[in-house]
Amino acid sequence: MNLVGIGYDIHAFASPEAQRKLILGGVEIAHPVGLDGHSDADVLCHAIADAVLGAIGEADIGHHFPNTDPSLRGMSSLEIVRRSAALVAQQGGRIINIDSTLLSEAPKIAPHLTAMRENLAAALGLSPQRVGIKATTNERLGSIGRKEGIAAMAVASVEI
C-alpha cells in the first residue's frame, strides 16, 4: 500500500541577541540571525518529519518531540527526521521519496541544496535523488515576505 503525508512548519527569526545559527536541512547557513525554536528550529527538517509521520498516521512532531521537554532543547532536527524514519521502519514500511519547498526571502538557498539533500537523504535512508528540495520567495507578501521568518512544506511517499 502506498501512503502520502504532508508537513508544514514556520519559524520566526530570533532576535540578533539570541545568537542563534540558521540551520536548514541540517546545513549551517551564514545569515545575521537564526530561527527561533526549542530545537535547532530547522523548518525544512520539521516539515519533512511531519510529512513522514503523517503518512503512517502518527501524531505530529510536537507530540513526539514536545517543546516542553528540556532534554530536547537545541536538538538537531536531523535527529527528529531520523527518529521519524525509524517509526516508518518499525511499522514495516519504507520511505519512497520526499518533495519539499522552502519559502524565504533570504538567504539564498541554491548554494546549499546539494548538502541539504545529502544530509536529509542520510537521515531518511534514501538516495539523494529521492529527496526533492526547492526554494522560492513569498514575493514580499506576508510575514515571510517581510523577512520575519522562514516556512517549509513537504510531501512524503511511504510504502507499507
Predicted pLDDT at 28? 98
Query: Per-residue pLDDT tens for 82-120?
Result: 999 999 999 999 999 999 999 999 999 999 999 999 999
The domain limits of the chain are 2-159
- Exposed/middle/buried for residue 110 (C-beta within 10 Å: 0-12, 13-18, 19+): exposed
Question: Cα angle vertex 14, ends 11, 20, to 5°?
Answer: 105
Predicted pLDDT at 59? 97
Overall CATH class of domain 2-159: alpha beta
**What's 89-146 look like in SS3?**
HHCCCEEEEEEEEEECCCCCCHHHHHHHHHHHHHHHCCCHHHEEEEEECCCCCHHHHC
Query: Per-residue pLDDT tens for 30-85?
Result: 999 999 999 999 999 999 999 999 999 999 999 999 999 999 898 999 999 999 99
Contact between 158 and 3 (Cβ < 8 Å):
yes
